[in-house]
């Protein structure tokens, strides 16, 4: 009789134990990609694309990429496309020999990924704050955006970058944030990393409202309040969505 009671208690414990098992925490849902609609997909059936590939097949090193980019110049999207923000295809940039940061970095990333075949290459959007100086020496803090091609020659190796037509190959970067802070020394509030060909977002980092990211390692960073470190006036931290 005692054995039967023990068995019944064990069965009840199993039943009610399963019923009240603490549910596993849900995986965090990543923020949606805010700008993927801007990424144009390549049409590999066009004559322009075929001509582009035939010309670029001679590009076999990042040094040759740097030499090729010397043939191009920066121009604003407004002057070239009559738009505030336009992300151009690499073969279109090749034909025009000019574009702004997003087009030039898309071209550099395509050359490195498709023809040089480096170990890793990314197209990054950086958004942050910088000081805009006036002629009298005073300044105000404004927001801006910039696109850069970042890559490694070896898996998990040293980071190199192309910004517009400038090759950064001797800076010994310690992380992605350090690269972005060169343009936005007051601080970054958003970083988006994309696949060089598909444009799909691989990761993004976003500061909390009123904060900026700081640090040289993307996986080990700290946040600090802008208002605690910089003198900002009302209206100076309006964020932008276009790249320049």
Decide if 45 is inside a domain: yes
What's the pLDDT at 233?
43
Decide if 203 is inside a domain: yes
Decide if 222 is inside a domain: yes
What's the pLDDT at 50?
98
Taking only the tens place, the pLDDT of each residue in 30-44 is 789 999 999 999 999
Q: Which domain does 182 fall in, by range?
A: 33-228
Decide if 19 is inside a domain: no
Strand partners, 123: 149, 194
Write down the H helix ranges in the chain. Answer: 2-19, 47-56, 62-69, 77-81, 90-96, 101-110, 176-181
Give 137-141 contacts, CB < 8 A, sequence gap 24+: 140/233, 140/236, 141/186, 141/230, 141/231, 141/232, 141/236, 141/237
Decide if 151 is inside a domain: yes
What's the pLDDT at 186?
86
Decide if 28 is inside a domain: no
Decide if 13 is inside a domain: no
Decide if 140 is inside a domain: yes
Ranges under pLDDT 70 in the chain: 1-29, 214-244
Structural domain tally of the chain?
A: 1
What's the pLDDT at 216?
44
What's the pLDDT at 229?
39
């Amino acid at each position: 009789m005692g054995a039967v009671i023990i068995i019944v208690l064990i069965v009840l414990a199993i039943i009610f134990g399963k019923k009240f098992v603490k549910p596993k925490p849900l995986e965090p849902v990543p923020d949606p990609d805010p700008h993927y609609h801007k990424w144009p997909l390549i049409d590999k059936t066009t004559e322009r694309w075929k001509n582009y590939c035939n010309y670029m097949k001679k590009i076999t090193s990042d040094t040759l990429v740097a030499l090729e980019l010397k043939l191009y110049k920066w121009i604003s999207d407004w002057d070239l496309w009559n738009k505030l923000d336009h992300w151009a295809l690499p073969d279109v940039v090749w034909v025009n020999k000019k574009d702004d940061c997003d087009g030039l970095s898309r071209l550099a990333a395509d050359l490195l990924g498709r023809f040089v075949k480096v170990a890793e290459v990314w197209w990054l959007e950086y958004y942050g704050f910088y000081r805009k100086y006036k002629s009298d020496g005073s300044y105000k803090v404004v927001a801006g955006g910039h696109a850069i091609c970042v890559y490694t020659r070896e898996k998990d190796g040293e980071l190199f970058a192309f910004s517009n037509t400038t090759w950064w190959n001797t800076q010994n970067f310690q992380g992605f944030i350090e690269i972005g802070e060169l343009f936005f020394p007051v601080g970054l509030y958003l970083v988006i990393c994309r696949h060089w060909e598909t444009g799909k977002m691989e990761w993004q980092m976003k500061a909390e409202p009123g904060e900026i990211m700081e640090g040289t390692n993307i996986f080990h960073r700290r946040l600090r309040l802008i208002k605690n470190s910089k003198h900002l006036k009302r209206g100076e931290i309006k964020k932008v969505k276009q790249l320049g």
